[in-house]
Structure 1
């Protein structure tokens, strides 16, 4: 689960770079095209290498059986964007360590968690064992979902998969395919407007440094120019057109506000920035 808009492409990784950057040999970043095959290879390796650091940093925030939509602390228990899930077949796309999937299981859903990263699914399997919540886990690319058509009533994603795929329309088409008629697709991503600012939770993150309309992917690279991490920026219009093209109808766009008393930072999310502009966009959609 974690799309964080990547750091300022003009800046190399900080000296205290995460172990994923050290393991993969990341030396800098570029804005350049990246194919589906390149992004799958890079992001699979990245999240495998980053799984330990990620859970040390964010594990307490996410919990093991809780559905947190975003760093603004919007919980599904309160928002109910998925509606009543009891007795429903639910697919979580980009489940990470699957705390959301386990929460859904507690609520009575028949849920499957899917992720590209074996490292993240290792944490998911360990948490399944620790909680006794045996959520089925599948390793796969969201652009090619390994399920029969019309298998699920609901699909959801909290910062998983969507920002990391080259073919957004292909992902949405696959989600629409595996949903039953009238099924719901709800997903959270970094708010597209955040891409015009540096990836900084402090005052530096309040200045515009890029164009909202620049869709060139953000790519971290090693010394040979090979991608070690890939993330894609889309505008709000891009998301809506891709959804419509896949036969999905947008019902609502939720932009969570920063809650009073919430002082924790998560990457570039902070009380300073949250008071001024949205950090998360949650799309609530339905298949015709």
Structure 2
């Protein structure tokens, strides 16, 4: 059976959910092989998780030198693994850093590059959504080893026992890969809410909330659902929340199981970032708002009445 490589994303010794989704997706093409690139000890901390989700092998490219530089060394290390394993494909989660790694890798190995896939089949065909997700297309690499990035939440993680055999990979970094060095790292303070980009439930607020102080309504509803919090571009531009919370074409692209849009009209810029969500719920007092064209469930009403009632009802049912 052909091997399919998956680049592992891990934080604090825990594999991120999009990587588990990739391991699940990889089984449609062949036998999953996980690639761990980073500081010494990274692979040991995550091997059990990778085995639980079907990784037959764990390729380990670790060194303090690799960890000291951004992006370029990871692409060189991944290229070394590709040369050693001759895989049928390489899968990465769609993130800003991973897309750059994917582009560098495709150039190095002469493979086709496919971004932001939302589906994948056994023949290597990928499903993508273009023009603001208004059109769905099927694409396939016609040259070399395909390098594919998949959007988070496109596949449900499914456990499948793998041997997780450890394979050491020796990597000698080029001078070009060391042209930019990490001089300092700042750990972002995070609350208890899920990360927006890979959350399974997202609640977003729009211009309809009226002012920054009212955004707490969105946060309370999100917390009742255990959801990440997002916002429309209008809210970000008004300075009510930081840009990191913006969902849309120029913000974060999300694809959760449930997306709740509160007070969002549904401009194309916003829709491009969320319309691949599995189930969409919209709350808006304007019955003609474009968001209702996308919504699976819509509530025409005042968000200041509907959202708190919804929060209370969810809290009661959870209790």
TM-score, scaled to structure 1:
0.31
Greater relative contact order: 1 or 2 (C-alpha under 8 angstroms, separation 6 or more)?
A: 1
TM-score by length of 2: 0.29
